[in-house]
Amino acid sequence: MRILHTMLRVGDLDRSIKFYTEILGMQVLRREDYPDGKFTLAFVGYGGERDHTVLELTHNWGTESYDHGNAFGHIAIEVEDAYQACDKVKAAGGKVIREAGPMMHGTTVIAFIQDPDGYKIEFIQKGTAGY
């Protein structure tokens, strides 16, 4: 068994695809409209679905925003340099909500950004985590 994807509901699919591809460097792996169900799915990631876990961006036509509730936490992405990754996000107009630096109770270098729909994404600097 393995994890295939995580699904996020998004209000503006093109805006979200732009964020995940242009700012985070993912690729659009596939995109399909479902007119009978009035939704579109787009799968994005750093590699093909056969070998990597990816994100499924789901846009329900006519829905511009969602209540995230209080159960979902964040998506984590390993980056070479969390400081540079934050600079890149800011330069592209993205939102950094916790600047890069060591964890409060540890040495892992992390940062948090937010996607256009308000989902939190944690950057974890390669080589600083305990795994």
Give yes or no for a contact between 40 and 32, defined as CB atoms under 8 angstroms apart: yes
d(CA 43, CA 29): 5
Q: Coil, strand or helix: which one is 90?
A: helix
- Burial class (CB within 10 angstroms; exposed 0-12, middle 13-18, buried 19+) of 51: exposed
CB 125: neighbour CB atoms within 10 A? Answer: 21
Which one of 49, 78, 99, 122 is the catalytic residue? 122
Amino acid occupying residue 32:
E
Q: Has 122 been annotated as catalytic?
A: yes
Active site residues per annotation:
122
